[in-house]
Structure 1
Amino acid sequence: MSDVTELEAEAAGLVFARFDHEDAWAIGADLRARALEEHLPIAIDIRTAAGTVLFHVSLPGASADQEHWLRGKAAVVFRFSASSALIAARFAETGAGPNGWLDPNEYAPTGGGVAVTVEGAGVVAAVTVSGLASADDHALAVDAMRRRIRDQLG
């Protein structure tokens, strides 16, 4: 199975019944707690497509550069309605990169931005992590989102 196929299947399992400020807070707090416990130098951002910041924190060791990566990964999520890791994998699979048409100052097609998809509504927000390897940023966000979906299901 290709990375694209795996990431598409993963996204299909990351659909929320609902998503609100409390859900954003729960996911962000979960990520923050894990990062502090594991001494991860990351920044975490959860925002809507309209730009409303629902959760944001930079932890010890995160650099100011992480802010650029957070914004760029979230921009990819909102432009393509998919995780930034999936878009990066599609570019890698086809050999067609974003050069020349996707402004690198605005978009960061690399793992760490994950679409918050609500059943019947589509992509409503992005959970973004930056500071580790792209695959690790992506995995952290996905793990926290899966836990919140399980919590919603009771």
Structure 2
Amino acid sequence: MESTEQLARLLREEEELQFSAFSNDTALEIGQMLVEAAKQSGWAVTIDITRNQQCLFHHAMTRTSIDNAEWLRRKNNVVNRFGHSSYYMGSYLRSLGQTIEEKYFISAREFASHGGAFPLIIKGVGAVGTISVSGLPQKDDHELVVKVLRLYLAKTLERF
């Protein structure tokens, strides 16, 4: 079972990690940061950044497979349907002792409530896409995205 504190922490991440604007160049910069962070850790991941159903960045590192892209698709479906990170949704479902199929009557073949897909949130607008990683244990997929988003947003604040 997942703790109330963990669920609250995951929701705070979504409140904290929001953008005032998000361009194609922003996607490229964040995508490259994710690639570099994974390389530095010796990890092989597939990365996807999509805004309004348009893929702005996609990279499959060496030692990944088509399965990683399929996981991304299914995790992104969760974010797009529920507006929360796939890790939050999986944690929430575990706290209830239910699967996504039991709770929402949707297929686990199409929706993966495993960590790694994070909502691309524009302040004052809401979720408009996803920033996603696949290839690591789900907690690590999630934490990689969160770490890079924190670094990027801190860096952009320093510019002003």
Tell me if TM exceeds 0.5: yes
Which of 101, 107, 110 pairs up with 2:111?
Answer: 107
Q: TM-score, normalised by structure 1?
A: 0.94
Counterpart-to-counterpart distance in 1, 2:106 and 2:28: 31
Which of 57, 65, 75 pairs up with 2:67?
Answer: 65
Q: Aligned pairs, how many?
A: 153
Counterpart-to-counterpart distance in 1, 2:73 and 2:155: 28
Superposed displacement of residue 13, structure 1: 0.8
Which of 19, 22, 25 pairs up with 2:25?
Answer: 22
Counterpart-to-counterpart distance in 2, 1:20 and 1:147: 17
Counterpart-to-counterpart distance in 2, 1:106 and 1:99: 10
Percent of aligned pairs with the same residue? 31
- For residues 2-41 of structure 1, the aligned pairs below 5 Å read 2-41=5-44
Deviations 1:101-149 (A, max 9, x none): 1212211101000011111110112010000000000000111111121
Query: Is 1:47 equivalent to 2:50 in the alignment?
Result: yes
Q: TM-score, normalised by structure 2?
A: 0.90
The answer on whether the counterparts of 1:82 and 1:115 sit within 8 Å (CA) in structure 2 is yes
Counterpart-to-counterpart distance in 1, 2:142 and 2:95: 18
Amino acid at match of 2:62: P
Runs (4+) of structure 1 exceeding 6 A deviation are none
Higher helix share: 2
Unaligned runs of at least 5 residues, structure 2: none
Counterpart-to-counterpart distance in 1, 2:106 and 2:154: 35
- SS of corresponding position for 1:12: helix
Across the aligned residues of Structure 1 and Structure 2, the Cα RMSD in angstroms comes to 1.2
Query: Is 1:96 equivalent to 2:98 in the alignment?
Result: yes
Counterpart-to-counterpart distance in 1, 2:107 and 2:25: 33
Residue in structure 2 matched with residue 150 of structure 1 by the alignment: 154
- SS of corresponding position for 2:101: coil
Superposed displacement of residue 18, structure 1: 1.2
Greater mean alpha carbon deviation, residues 51-60 or residues 90-99: 90-99
Query: Is 1:133 equivalent to 2:137 in the alignment?
Result: yes
Unaligned runs of at least 5 residues, structure 1: none
The answer on whether the counterparts of 1:85 and 1:113 sit within 8 Å (CA) in structure 2 is yes
